[in-house]
Amino acid sequence: MKRILIVDDISSNRKIASVILSKNGWDTVESEGGPDALGRDDLNSFSHILLDINMPEVDGLEVCRRLRADEQLGHLRIVAYTAHAMEHEQDEIMAQGFDAIVTKPISVASLLAVL
Domain 2-114 has CATH 3.40.630.10: no
Per-residue pLDDT band for 114 (boundaries 50, 70, 90) equals very high
* Percent with pLDDT over 90 in the chain: 82
pTM of structure? 0.94
Residue 19 pLDDT > 80: yes
Measured CA to CA, the distance from residue 112 to residue 55 in angstroms comes to 23
Do 78 and 97 meet the contact criterion of CB atoms below 8 Å apart? Answer: yes
Do 101 and 86 meet the contact criterion of CB atoms below 8 Å apart? Answer: no
Using one digit for the tens of pLDDT, what is the confidence trace for 72-84?
Answer: 998 999 999 988 7
Per-residue pLDDT band for 88 (boundaries 50, 70, 90) equals confident
User: Domain residues of the chain, as ranges?
Assistant: 2-114
Residue 1 pLDDT > 80: no
**Backbone conformation region of residue 51, classed left if phi is above 0, alpha if psi is from -120 to 50, else beta:** beta
Q: Quick one: pLDDT at residue 80?
A: 96
Per-residue pLDDT band for 56 (boundaries 50, 70, 90) equals very high
